[in-house]
Chains A and B, each alone.
Chain A
């Protein structure tokens, strides 16, 4: 992709945003008096703010880049990450789990585990979580730096350091409150920055119905736009129906998943594991000012979350639809190819003779190429000399691979004039920063309270922990940079995040489910169950592979016992397997070991031993159970509309 020139108006918008974000950090810094102020916001923030921060913390690279990528690759089925995944889990968190998190006065999810079980469970969870946040943050930063590099021509390393420098500055000044406040700002920035791009894209493709009919062409022959291997074909509704293709079986939908993996693996294990136990998001609710506010936080978040597919998935669908319409002059961007490779290929197009010209040009570009398009490009050049620019455009269109992560950018570039471009770019920047800041603020809390205070320096002064929290903020950002390079090895960052969540989070939800709802669960049972659960995820990954992948980093490196139709199916089944392993082991070992905590110790930590919260005094729209049911009904209606 060619670098584009920003005008002064674009830079002004970008700088205004960065100035406001840093300004919020500075304005809050005078309230940062204790480590609790810095790391947990001292439980003081109103519901609508924690609610919007709750989704914004998750609105990083995963959401905007990854979801648009998946929208192009898989169509509306991607919305299952919302309508089957996030929403039910968020409602469950609000209604059933928040009372224990907030009521126990724990400062973090690992600390809750220590109260409910013992130090071992906390240690295991806090270390695993620390690693995971670093990876997630690294993915965000990698995506951001790649974006700034390809869009603005900035140096990758420069982009990485400048953007993380901004995050560092406001998080260091205003702590968690600063992260939460800027997340709210980012939420509006992202929604208002992307809405016009979606609108313009839909207008260009001819409206919703035209998009759907173009996507039917995609479904019957996805190889035409290099989405799948030649010969693959699906029912016409494979990109436009959310459920029918999944119910028809893994060979009938582009995700290659079956309904069980979708509902149990994604809907139950992965989503509940993520939304209900991931401290990154739970931390936002724990910062709320009281129990009602804490419980309503995920519910407030669920309302916009439910409609996010229209903002983040539809752009990918628009991109796939546009690619099939030749007069639009658009294609899903191919992987970035260096200009030197293009130059070599251009020379070879000019000198082409003989049957192996296509192979030579393909080797020049270093990518799979469409032989038919290369041949006609050579023919066109022979008939009448084309300019280098025309040949390069022809080569660009002939690359038979897609860089799905580039989808969102290519649309922004196509539709945004100066001004709007600055706004959309700022929105993208905001999403990456919020992902980064969210992870860093979760990491510093867990590291300071659950690793440093718990195992390295007990009983120091609060000022000492505040100082450590700040140092760890810096360390966290530095570690993330290392993780950014790992992330750059994958072409769709979505899959890697799911993989990491599968390893760490999937077994974890089994531990919470048993721990919160069955008082007989013992610490030894929880620890060994969780330990083996994570181990079994890793083993499952080492023994299985997705079709088309070679054994190695993508699985199957010990031995290929089973092959899945897609990476996504592999991830969902991995999660399901890890959950079942952890659940069964925790259950069996708990039965075999003695309880170390009495009923009195577990009051406020286990469902059956905690007095139920009576909401009858609150107005009906503030009762989590009532609101939760209403949201669930709306969510079911959305599933039916896109059935």
Chain B
């Protein structure tokens, strides 16, 4: 099939990661669980994962879906 699945995975986790980390950064007090700002930390993890997937897709050489 013509769609490289790494595109949607990468895009989605980049988006969600950025959202979550951003939320953790702005609303630090609402993001704490057991004394750690879990939104910021985990958002960053998701962001890195998403970007790596996107890099994989770009390196894989397939163009993003036009739809």
A residues touching B (Cβ–Cβ < 8 Å)? Answer: 9, 12-13, 16-17, 20, 23-24, 26-28, 30-31, 41, 44-45, 49, 177, 181, 184-185, 188, 192, 196, 200, 203-204, 415-420, 423
Q: How far is the CA of A233 from the CA of B33 in the complex (A)?
A: 35
Q: Known contacts A20-B12, A417-B38, A420-B33; can you find 9 more A-B pairs with CB under 8 A?
A: A17-B12, A23-B67, A24-B3, A31-B1, A181-B3, A192-B45, A192-B49, A419-B23, A419-B24
What 0/1 pattern do residues 9 to 47 of B give for CB contact below 8 A with A?
Answer: 101110110011001100100111110001100110110
Residue pair B3, A419 in contact (C-beta under 8 Å) = no
B8 and A417 within 8 A (CB): no
Establish whether residues B34 and A203, one from each chain, have CB atoms under 8 Å apart when the complex forms. yes
CB <8 Å contact, B67 and A26? yes
- Cβ–Cβ contact A417 & B31, under 8 A: yes
User: CB-nearest residue of chain A relative to B37?
Assistant: A417
Q: B61 in the interface, Cβ–Cβ < 8 Å? A: no
**With a CB–CB cut-off of 8 A, which chain B residues contact A419?**
19-20, 23-24, 30-31, 39, 43
User: Given that A30-B67, A200-B34, A420-B33 are known contacts, is A184 also in contact with B12, CB under 8 Å in the complex?
Assistant: no
With A9-B19, A28-B1 as contacts: A23 and B8 at CB distance below 8 Å: yes
Contact pick for A177, options B1, B13, B30, B31, CB 8 Å: B1
Cα distance, A203 to B33, chains bound together (Å) = 10
* Interchain nearest-CB distance for A60 vs B (Å): 20
Instruction: Report A-chain residues with C-beta under 8 Å of the C-beta of B5.
Output: 24, 49, 181, 184-185
> Which size class do B's interface residues fall under?
20 to 34
A-B CB proximity, top 8 nearest? A419-B39, A27-B67, A20-B12, A419-B23, A27-B65, A196-B42, A9-B23, A181-B5
Complex Cα–Cα for A17 and B17 (A)? 12
Instruction: Write out the residue numbers on chain A whose beta carbons fall within 8 Å of the beta carbon of B19.
Output: 9, 12-13, 16, 419
- Docked complex Cα distance between A49 and B56 (Å): 14
Chain B residue numbers with a CB within 8 Å of A9 are 19-20, 23
Which of chain B's residues have a CB closer than 8 A to the CB of A423?
16, 20, 42, 46
State whether A204 touches B34 (Cβ < 8 A): yes
> Would you give the shortest CB distance from A255 to chain B, in whole angstroms?
32
The answer to whether B16 touches A24 (Cβ under 8 A) is: no
Whether B42 lies near A420 (C-beta < 8 A) is yes
Most buried by A among B20, B24, B27, B42: B42
B40 to chain A, nearest CB (A): 9
Contact present for B8 and A20 (CB under 8 Å): yes
How far is the CB of B8 from the nearest CB of chain A, in Å?
5
Contact status B49-A185, CB under 8 Å: no
A30 to B66, CA, bound (A): 11
For the residues of B in contact with A, the DSSP-based class is helix
Q: Are A16 and B16 in contact (CB under 8 A)?
A: yes
Closest B residue to A53 by CB, please name it: B5
Residue ID in chain B nearest A9 by CB atoms? B23
Report the bound CA distance from A188 to B32 in whole Å: 24
User: How far in angstroms is the closest Cβ of chain A from B13?
Assistant: 7
Q: How far does the alpha carbon of A17 sit from the alpha carbon of B12 in the complex, in Å?
A: 7
- How far apart sit A185 and B43, CA to CA, in the bound complex (Å)? 17
Question: B39 contacts which of A16, A203, A420 (Cβ < 8 Å)?
Answer: A420
Q: Which of chain A's residues have a CB closer than 8 A to the CB of B3?
A: 24, 27-28, 31, 181
Q: Cβ of B42: which chain A residues have Cβ within 8 Å of it?
A: 196, 420, 423
Distance in angstroms between the alpha carbons of A154 and B18 in the assembled complex: 28
Chain B residues whose C-beta falls within 8 Å of the C-beta of A417 in the assembled complex: 30-33, 38-39
Across the interface, which residues of A come within 8 angstroms of B33, CB to CB? Answer: 200, 415-417, 420
CA gap between A27 and B43 in the complex, in Å: 27
What residues of chain B lie closer than 8 Å to A177, measured between beta carbons? 1
**6 intermolecular pairs with C-beta atoms under 8 Å apart:** A13-B16, A23-B8, A26-B67, A27-B67, A185-B9, A419-B24
CB distance from A56 to the nearest CB of B (A): 12
Residue picked from B24, B34, B39, B45, most chain A C-beta under 10 Å: B39
Q: Which residue of A lies closest to B12 (CB)?
A: A20
- In the complex, the chain A residue whose C-beta lies closest to that of B42 is A196
Closest to B64 in A: A27
B30 touches A418 (CB 8 A): yes
- CB B25 to nearest CB in A, in angstroms, measures 11
CB distance from B35 to the nearest CB of A (A): 9
**Are A420's CB and B2's CB within 8 A?**
no
Give chain B residues whose Cβ lies under 8 Å from the Cβ of A49.
5
Contact residues in B for A41 (Cβ distance below 8 Å): 1
Minimum distance in angstroms from A331 CB to a CB of chain B = 19
Across the interface, which residues of B come within 8 angstroms of A188, CB to CB? 9, 13, 49
Complex formed: what's the CA distance from A28 to B65 in Å? 10
Chain B residue nearest to A192 (CB atoms) is B46
Given the known interface contacts A13-B19, A420-B20, the answer about A24 and B38 at a Cβ–Cβ threshold of 8 Å is: no
How far, in angstroms, from A31 to B66 measured CA to CA in the complex?
13
Please, which residues of chain A bring their CB within 8 A of the CB of B38?
Answer: 196, 200, 416-417, 420
Beta-carbon contact of B12 and A16 below 8 Å: yes
Give min CB distance, B41 to chain A, whole Å. Answer: 8
**Min C-beta distance of A327 to chain B, whole Å:** 14
B30 to nearest A CB, angstroms?
6
Q: How far is the CA of A188 from the CA of B50 in the complex (A)?
A: 10
Residue of A nearest to B31 (CB): A417
* CA gap between A416 and B31 in the complex, in Å: 8
A204 to B11, CA, bound (A): 33
User: CA separation between A188 and B2, bound complex, in Å?
Assistant: 21
Contacts of A12 in B (CB 8 A): 19
Shortest A53–chain B CB gap in Å is: 10
| A184 surroundings in chain B (CB, below 8 A) | 5, 9
Q: Using Cβ atoms and an 8 Å threshold, which residues of chain A touch B16?
A: 13, 16-17, 423
